[in-house]
Structure 1
Amino acid sequence: MISRKIVALGTLFTLLLVILCMAASAPLRTNVSARNFEFTYLMTIPASPADAKTLRIWIPLPQSDPYQAIGGLKIESPFPYAKHRDPEYGNEYLYLQFPAAQVSSREEVRMSFQVTRREHLVKLDAHPVNAPSAEIDSSGLHRFLQPDRRVPLQGVIAELAVQETRGIQNPLKKARAIYNYVIATMRYDKSGTGWGNGDAIWACTAKRGNCTDFHSLFIGMMRAVGIPARFEIGFPLPADRHDGAVPGYHCWAEFYVQSFGWIPVDASEAWKHPDKKDYFFGAHDDNRLQFSVGRDISLDPPQQGDPLNYFIYPYAELDGKPFAVESKFSFQDRPSDGD
């Protein structure tokens, strides 16, 4: 455990190594766009009630992967913390546990780090020679064929998936048919209540919602016809700004087809930008930052509450019960190499 220090985890050299590894492991492509920026994640803890005993907090951390490099992580915390991973998906997070009496007034935990985010583009018009399918075996795909609490695979979701893919054998064409259906049927609408929970049945009935609802319906239909699909969540970066606040999360999906590997999809962005409908079937742009994968997340050390519907904001428990903390996010673009 580490206490009351600004701790630098990673250096510029580490960041460069990660970028080089990304370049070496990713399929060779030219003209791939990338965005360099610094991201700040600020959590505010309110004062604890006088009779409270123990406060526990889990704060998600981004990880490097073939499409984003994370470096220079700095953590400012008045309380001890340790890094953990959830046992099912491998999501990384900070874990804090301390006497609630230590929070007599508002306290802050601040994280900042540098990111290089690359466009994730899969060329679907040609069979790839060096397919990334070896990155995962059938056991690793199994979870992404199973239901989530709010994404059942029976009943109306299964019926709808079969209806929209009837007569189609090719899994890529099945995926496109489901993608087309979701975009044609749903509308991006955050009015009223019910949206944002990623409830596939609600989305199917209401035919509206945010990115969580779009992709819950997409993932449920995909899994129902035997195509592995996974939920990913992070933050959007505005394409027309170079710094400022990030008001909330964004989520997207990937599905798996043998010989192509994981194929990116962003159905809600395609709905908002019809001219990019074809692009977002097989691509994620570089204006985003991923934090975690999956739904129904059980943490380690385990929370006493329900599994997390998704994990992008801090989760806290005070004496075993959910406890509200605040969070704010911001970014600052950084010069690219050669600028």
Structure 2
Amino acid sequence: MDRRAFLRLGAALPVSVGAAGILPAHAATPPSASSGALPGVRAGDVQSAAGWRVYEMTTEVTLPPSAAPARIWLPVTAQQVGDYQRTLATEWNAPGALTRAATVSGYDVRMVAIEWPSAPDGGPLKASLLNKVAIRDRDVDLGAAPSPRAPRESAATLREYLRPTQLMPTDGIVRDTALKITAGLDDDMTRARAIYQWVVDNTCREASVRGCGTGDVVAMLNHTVKTGGIMNGKCADINGLFVALSRAAGIPARDAYGVRVDTSALGFKALGKAGDISKAQHCRSEFYTAGYGWIPADPADVRKVALEEVPGGLPMTDSKVRAARAMLLGAWEGNWVVYNHGHDVALPGGTLAPVPFLMYPNGQTVAGTLDSLDPDKFGYRISSKRVA
């Protein structure tokens, strides 16, 4: 089935970044009393005629007075990613708190760090973060010949996206598996296709896994070796496996950690969420080949369609699953926003160990670490709405 029948994109008009730019790497704004903002892309630079859609994402946190002293870290959307995402505005407010915007080491991971030394006037600790983002669909024509006009990535960036991470090593069982999958294949595109198909065939979405999973690819592969069974997990596990195998095969690849902000316009009930998106986080992935640039790949969402599109699930031979499988190598729908591509993220100012990735609010109170995967127990709500 031709995936391009499922995702037709309009002609692309150029979009440029405003002169203000963003914070340099490893930097943070000076702490402010309670509120702040980051410069964004000028709204006039986003052309609605080119398929851009604008969303406001609001994160609200409420903690009891007894939680102080407390710190929270809220992920901020990436300012500019390829030709499909532009952050127009980022604003936050936290009465009685010290706040700062930080960009931590590795992969340009942006966040707002908020600290309450004590409860303001004895009342609850409250914070809000607004991200206003323009996004659009992606579709890379993999049937076309490589083009010298395709977007190019720097050599330094490509080296970065070949590095191993704590949960995604590129040696041992990961490398052995990657070499078996790609044996006899002589170019990056063909190898990446083979890895994508192998991951779809050898994984299964597991509803009981909390959040998006952990992305521990060695544990997944070892499970298969020991049991001969399918590897279960969620998007950070399944797409993390694709990224690790690609890197081990010498193909630059990266996870993209984000959240769904709208329902699917392509007819996939499982691949969208609007309104309350507190539990709509989703990790996607990409790989890079010369002559094409960064190419979308989302084997995890293929498995999500199979499991969740209808009650009781769908077989992999179902036309809707086959449509998702064809589409999600080379394309994805613009109803999702990316925060960052980071791994092993250190949260500034706290005592928590680095987190594998940052796409949930994180927090630490006088009573201990807050559960990022439980919005109600943590005390946060994330909502989205489309705006003009």
TM-score by shorter chain over 0.5: yes
- 1:184 pairs, out of 196, 201, 208, with 201
Q: Which amino acid is the alignment partner of residue 65 of structure 2?
A: A
Of residues 90-99 and 159-168 in structure 1, the stretch that sits farther from structure 2 once superposed is: 90-99
- 1:251 pairs, out of 283, 286, 291, with 283
CA distances 1:257-290 after superposition (whole Å, capped 9, x unpaired):
1222211111112232431212211122101011
Give secondary structure in 1 for the equivalent of 2:205.
coil
TM-score by length of 2: 0.74
Q: What's 1:210 paired with?
A: 234
Is 1:229 the counterpart of 2:253? The answer is yes
CA distances 1:6-34 after superposition (whole Å, capped 9, x unpaired):
x56568x92223x26xx9xxxxxxx9644
Give the RMSD, CA atoms, in angstroms. 2.8
- 1:314 pairs, out of 361, 382, 385, with 361
Question: Superposed, which structure 2 residues align to 1:101-116 within 5 Å?
Answer: 101-102=119-120, 104-116=122-134
Q: Which amino acid is the alignment partner of residue 37 of structure 1?
A: Y
- 1:3 pairs, out of 33, 53, 72, with 33
Q: Distance in 2 between matches of 1:267 and 1:216?
A: 10
Aligned residue pairs: how many? 317
Structure 1: gaps of 5 or more residues: 24-30
TM-score by length of 1: 0.83
Structure 2: gaps of 5 or more residues: 1-30, 224-229, 266-271, 306-320, 372-377
CA distances 1:279-322 after superposition (whole Å, capped 9, x unpaired):
211122101011121211124x3543221111012222347963
Aligned sequence identity (%): 25
Q: Offset at 1:222?
A: 0.6
Is 1:148 the counterpart of 2:165? The answer is yes
Contact 2:212 2:282 in 1 (8 A): no
Is 1:239 the counterpart of 2:264? The answer is yes
Contact 2:256 2:285 in 1 (8 A): yes
Q: CA 1:302/1:258 → structure 2, altered by over 3 Å: closer, same or farther?
A: farther
Q: What's 1:26 paired with?
A: none
Question: Superposed, which structure 2 residues align to 1:42-61 within 5 Å?
Answer: 42-48=60-66, 54-61=69-76
Q: CA 1:113/1:149 → structure 2, altered by over 3 Å: closer, same or farther?
A: closer
Q: What's 1:16 paired with?
A: 44
Q: Offset at 1:233?
A: 0.8
Contact 1:43 1:328 in 2 (8 A): yes
Q: Distance in 2 between matches of 1:90 and 1:40?
A: 21
Of residues 170-179 and 266-275 in structure 1, the stretch that sits farther from structure 2 once superposed is: 266-275
Q: What's 2:107 paired with?
A: 89
Is 1:292 the counterpart of 2:349? The answer is no
- 2:383 pairs, out of 330, 333, 339, with 330
Q: CA 1:155/1:98 → structure 2, altered by over 3 Å: closer, same or farther?
A: same
Q: Which amino acid is the alignment partner of residue 70 of structure 1?
A: T
CA distances 1:68-91 after superposition (whole Å, capped 9, x unpaired):
122243322112312110121112
Contact 1:150 1:199 in 2 (8 A): yes
